[in-house]
Chains A and B, each alone.
Chain A
Amino acid sequence: MLKQNMVSPVGDILKFLSILMLLVITVISQPTFAAVEGEPEGVIMKNPGADLWREVRQRNIAIEGISQIKSVDSGILINPEADRWTRFRVDQLVNYAAIILAGLALLLLVFYLLRGKIKVEGGLSRQMLHRFSDYERVLHWTLAIVFLFLAITGLTLLLGRTFLIPLFGQEFFSLLASSSKEGHNLFGPIFFASLIMMILRFVKRNIYEKGDLTWLVKGGGIIGKSHVSGGFFNMGEKTWYWIVILIGLLISVSGLILVSPNFGQGRVIMELSHIVHVISAIILIAVSFGHMYLGSVGTEGALESMKTGYVDVNWAESHHDRWAKECRDNNRVISADKFNRLQGKINSGTEESGSVAVEGNK
């Protein structure tokens, strides 16, 4: 039928004209038609089918009906957030996380090859300053190890399907992912607790002060060779501290919402929490690369403070001149001999000599 009409344009035109005529007649006759009939107007009914499907699905909100099955969200027929969450995790999160983290690691490697270790100005003096107490160091390493563990287990869940299943096969990876999940759930709350203790212990020394601006202007001494000014913590360290605290709190709160599904939180809340959790986790892992780099191979003498609790006076001069001056003014400089004796005393329980390497296990 349709094909026949198409080949004969005359038929088409005739058809069009007749439709036009019909339309004109209907329009003209409408008012007269109503007037002649004189009947009361009909009830206007909306399409109940349209109403039904509006109640079943909306583009932006999940609408709730009721169900005899009493569980969280059981009344919601279609959750529109589900698709958005899926797209985000599958199409964006996995790819970007892998690219960002791998790219950053590469960048640091290149930076190290170009810049090398930032040496302490004037070499090591072997005169020491006391910097961190035992409690502070234990706290730091607890948070650091729990953080690394959570990062590794979390990234296993996020990236394992792409990168590890092809290596290990599905069955072994399932075991790995299962222990990652259980371990992550168990250590999450410990991260939160250590973070709170971190706030209490270090917050006073991390409030920004006037001299910090100079540090920023000079690029933290990483780029140029000029002397930068800093107090107990310099501007860079303070910023790292606040990133850890603020993003760490975001990660913790969203993580705690995810970890236990039985406080009546629905799917939409959990999907949002997941997004907050992973984005902030990726940011924190990325920034922590920088911290780990600067704290170990990047800066000569930096790791000592967290290993032994003591730092070389010249290191302090390079990175924390205001603090070093304050220590000197208060006669807190410890000679190399005394430092060795102190280290020996701490180790007196064992047969080892007071070498710094042994102290690393403290």
Chain B
Amino acid sequence: MARMKFYCDAERCIECNACVTACKNEHEIPWGVNRRRVVTIKDGQQGERSLSVACMHCSDAPCAAVCPVDCFYTTDDGVVLHDKDICIGCGYCFYACPFGAPQFPENAAFSSRGKMDKCTFCAGGPEDDHSSDEYKKYGRNRLAEGKLPLCAEMCSTKALLAGDANMLSDIYRKRIINRGASVLNWGVNYDKVKLNT
């Protein structure tokens, strides 16, 4: 079985936020919830980089460890999913996740938390594949259609990669070899440079 992973190449991401938009549109995600986001570090400074981040589908997922109702499960593809019928919207997974992946739509009263929503690696949920229930709760199940997550599929610079972990590492390794390591900055004349790593 494959071990599904996301990888975002910081040297390629141009912060266009297309992955964020594609995800929202594909799964008809409610207002205020973003399963994916792009974070820019050193904005406007030398060495500015952007990274697109969503659920990382951890092998030993902290969210699953803290959930008081134990509603997470990992698919055969290594995708971390949860059951919204069981979730009580307590927010503990949001405290446990290092990446801030779990999201909460606001309930009406006192804006308490609704049921948790997060990136599914476009793999739906526990309902039957392609059922309308599944679509309503979790969005489209592209993996069952034999497709990869839309965010990565439509990334224009192919910064965001999604798929089997081994294949992703192969692609990235080739990039590094061609680039001559990722330690070099654009626009610097390296003829006169000593690398001090």
Q: Which residues of A contact B (CB under 8 A)?
A: 40-52, 55-56, 63, 65-69, 71, 73-80, 82-83, 85-86, 89-90, 157-158, 160-161, 165, 170-171, 173-174, 177-178, 181-182, 185, 259-262, 267, 270-271, 274
State the Cβ distance, B35 to closest chain A Cβ, in Å: 10
B174 at the A interface (CB under 8 A): no
Residue of B nearest to A159 (CB): B68
Q: Known contacts A41-B194, A69-B34, A89-B66; can you find 7 more A-B pairs with CB under 8 A?
A: A42-B192, A43-B193, A48-B184, A79-B99, A178-B89, A181-B88, A181-B90
Number of A-B contacts (CB under 8 A): 162
Check if B113 is an interface residue, CB within 8 A of chain A: yes
Chain B contacts of A43 at CB under 8 A? 192-194
Contact of A45 among B106, B113, B194 (CB under 8 A): B194
B195 to A: closest C-beta gap in Å: 6
Point out which of B53, B67, B69 has the most chain A C-beta atoms below 10 A from its C-beta.
B69
- Secondary structure type dominating chain B contacts: loop
Report 7 cross-chain contacts, Cβ distance below 8 Å, ordered by A residue.
Answer: A40-B192, A69-B38, A74-B39, A79-B100, A82-B95, A174-B69, A177-B88
Decide yes or no: A49 and B111 within 8 Å by CB, A90-B66, A177-B88 being known contacts.
no
Contacting pair B183 A48 (CB below 8 A): yes
Query: Does B143 have its Cβ within 8 Å of any Cβ on chain A?
Result: no
List A contacts of B69 (CB < 8 A). Answer: 160-161, 165, 170, 173-174, 177
**How many angstroms between the C-alpha atoms of A79 and B62 in the bound complex?**
13
CB closest chain-B residue, reference A260: B110
Whether B47 contacts A47 by the Cβ 8 Å rule is no
Does residue B70 face the partner (Cβ distance < 8 Å to A)?
A: yes
Contact (Cβ within 8 A) A174 B86: yes
A42, A49, A51, A260 — most chain B CB neighbours (10 Å):
A49
A55 touches B42 (CB 8 A): yes
Option from B42, B99, B104 in Cβ contact (under 8 Å) with A261: B104
Q: Are B17 and A260 in contact (CB under 8 A)?
A: no
B182:A49 contact, CB within 8 angstroms: yes
Which residues of B in the span 20-55 have a Cβ within 8 Å of any Cβ on A?
20, 32, 34, 37-43, 47, 49, 51, 53
Main SS class of interface, A: helix
Given contacts A157-B68, A170-B69, A274 and B104 within 8 Å (CB-CB)? no
- Contact in complex: A86, B110 (CB < 8 Å): no
- B71 to chain A: which residues have CB within 8 Å? 170, 174
Tell me whether B98 and A56 are in contact (CB under 8 A): no
The CA of A173 and the CA of B68, in the complex, are separated in Å by 10
Cβ of A86 and Cβ of B65 under 8 Å apart? yes
Which residues from B are CB-within-8-Å of A73? Answer: 100
B109 to chain A, nearest CB (A): 9
* Bound-state Cα–Cα, A160 to B113, Å: 20
Do A82 and B62 contact each other (CB < 8 Å), given the known contacts A43-B193, A77-B41?
yes
Kindly provide the distance from the CB of A34 to the nearest chain B CB, expressed in whole angstroms.
12
The reply on B196 being an interface residue by CB < 8 A is yes
B132 at the interface (CB under 8 A from A): no
Residue of A nearest to B43 (CB): A66
Contacting A at CB under 8 A, from B173-193, are 181-185, 188, 190, 192-193
Contact call A157/B96, Cβ cutoff below 8 A:
no
| Complex-state Cα separation, A293 to B42, whole angstroms | 60
- Chain B residues whose CB sits within 8 angstroms of the CB of A76 once the complex forms: 39, 100
The answer to whether B99 touches A78, judged by C-beta atoms less than 8 angstroms apart, is yes
**Residue of B89, B98, B197 most packed against chain A (CB within 10 A):** B98
The answer to whether B138 has its CB under 8 Å from any CB of chain A is: no
Q: Given A45-B195, A89-B66, A65–B41 Cβ distance below 8 Å?
A: yes
Closest approach, in angstroms, between the C-beta of A192 and any C-beta of chain B?
15
Cβ B66 vs Cβ A67 within 8 A: no
Given contacts A67-B37, A69-B20, A170-B70, contact A44 B88 (CB under 8 A): no
Contact A158 B68 (CB under 8 A): yes
B41 contact from A49, A55, A261, Cβ within 8 A:
A55
CB within 8 Å of A: which B80-100 residues? 85-92, 94-100
Assess whether B70 is in contact with A44, with CB atoms less than 8 Å apart.
no
Partner of A47, one of B85, B88, B196: B196
In the complex the two chains form, is B95's CB within 8 Å of A270's CB?
Answer: yes
Residues of A within 8 A of B10 (CB): 52
Give Cα distance in the complex from A44 to B188, angstroms.
12
* Interface-central residue, B41, B86, B196, by most chain A CB under 10 Å: B41
In the complex formed, the residue of B with least CB distance to A173 is B69
Pick from A78, A177, A259, A274: contact of B98, CB under 8 Å: A78
B44 to chain A, nearest CB (A): 9
Cα–Cα distance between A10 and B31 once the two chains are bound (Å): 72
Q: Are B194 and A44 in contact (CB under 8 A)?
A: yes
Give the chain B neighbours of A56 by CB distance below 8 A.
41, 51
